[in-house]
Structure 1
Amino acid sequence: MYLVKNSPRALFAALIPLAIVEAVLMAFAIAGGQVTDPAGVPAPDQILVFYAGRMAIDATFLFAGHILLRQWTISSRLAYALMGGVVAAVSYGIAIRNHIQLAAPGDGTVVTIGLLPTIAGVIGGFLYGQFAGLSPVARAAGAGSAAAAPAAPPPIVFDGPVRVRTSVAGIAIAALMPTVLATLLPYTLVPLLMNGFADKSTAHIFAAVIPAQTFMIMIVISVIPSSIFILCVHHVARAMSRRSGWEYAAIGGVAAFACPLLLAFAMPLFAMLTVPAAFCGAVMGALYRRFAGLEPMPLPEAVIATDPNALVGADHPSRHQHGVILGN
């Protein structure tokens, strides 16, 4: 039996999706305050305090959930993903209840907005279980019994055929890559925004809101197509018996390069996206392989037979000729 290790590095990785979602929600709250009550927009120090408070709550709850799963000797990544979603939802509820945020959600949007941190928590919990690693459960034993106990068995190894797993969490993480890359693109426009506004405070608001808006738009329009794409890449790689990350990256890059190339016949403008799409597809393939893991090849399905005479090989003579029964 194994337990997930205590790992600050894994905790930091698990907080990344939560930090991104919290930053997006905070940017929208600041933009809304700039429109409805410009004088009431908090100072940067207050914004930083709110953000640090939310992240501290998320980190505390996530680590507490990890400790609880260790107490229950649960180490599956699915359990950690569910735990991450639960603690993120609880953290969001506490923030709403105690006003630990810049602006309260509008009427009828509390649950809808809460889905974003919940999904981020699911991904964060999965990342913690992925990066922390496993350690065997220590068994308590007395001094006398320890001396008389037999030697520990060697670690279990497997040298049979394996294949890359079909992982829902791996698909979800890889499918977010187009959103992440598209969100980074508006940051190249930040210097232009700073020079285009006479009021620098307004420029800072737009510089924060445009990437957040890009993130929300891309996550809506690209997640489902990206999930289908990476699932197809995975099955193509599995059909070709490819397992390494470089091979998945190559297959993803070639497939993503071909998609805009085919669309260019209908709209030539898509030809400009071939190189960015190939880069994005390669990263998606490598990410999926990194988080999917391996599994043993399944055994052949059992055959249900009702006639023992039919249990003969494919090259048996009875398979190639028919018996004759002469009538009276």
Structure 2
Amino acid sequence: MDFICPNSPFVWDGSTFSKCFDDMILDFATNMVTIFIILIIGITQRSPRQNQRINLMEKVFLHILPLVGACLSSVDVILLLKEKLHGEFVSYHEWLSSCSEFTVWTIIVLLSRCACFHCLFCHRILCFWWIIKPVMGILHQLVTFSSFEVLKCLKEICLVLLDIMFGISINIIRVKRASSRRSSIEESLLSVDGDVEEDCNTDSSYWDLMAFKSIDSVMNRGVIKQLDFEDLLGLPTDMDPSTCHSKLLSCWQAQRSCNCTNPSLVRAICCAYGYPYICLGLLKVVNDSIGFAGPLLLNKLIKFLQQGSGHLDGYVLAIALGLTSIL
């Protein structure tokens, strides 16, 4: 370990995680897991018949975002090469961290150019992992803030935001492409045969999904007359309490019959309610983590205002605080 982390503690340096731990665990290990997942899914799920056309928004998400990520991550590699050429010492953990980040985005850029690998980005495991990956990026970012290096902080903020945007985008793409077999939790809130003019269709844009355009007909009905009890949206069938109870009970009985000695309630819940609820819970965890970073950034910004620093670090913290508020 001295070879990789010379003159540095591996985990704790007295006040925060050491630079070696940050680079090796929070950055390098996360990137290697990402590369492993991408390669395994790419080898096993490659589809030579995949000729599905992608729209403009999907091209932006799958082509431009990874390209921006590759450009940003290449900055660290270029700076390390520059330091090495000038005879400065560069630790191996810095090389591993920077090169692994650049490799992740480069692989995504290359695979996004091949039509047969487009199904890779809609795979549940990759979508699940890209919800967890930004959490590790936020921890890595908090360690970077302690160094107060302006350019590095800006780069890390941009990379974390790219991770979050890419994770959200591939989950949205997966949901839209799986619309034929999606559960009612992902369906439009209003039925197509409603008595009000409806514009909800299966090819709605991403902005329509994020802006909840599916309730426009209810708002139009409210303009015509005062809404009453009959105008309320009914729960989907599989979200009715009695249906949920019956489904959970049947899954629990199946668990008891398959494993009489040690039935698993967690497996029964996962079997009953499925993958969409897990994704919603993980997105909530990411959202809460971003909200938790807001007070920490505000505290650091107040300290800078009290100290009267003349550097650009205060601007970096203010921009980061604004971005966390938007997200």
Q: TM-score range by the shorter chain?
A: under 0.3
With structure 1 as the length reference, what TM-score do the two structures score?
A: 0.27
TM-score (norm 2): 0.27
| Greater Rg by CA | 1
* Bigger relative contact order (CA 8 A; separation at least 6): 1
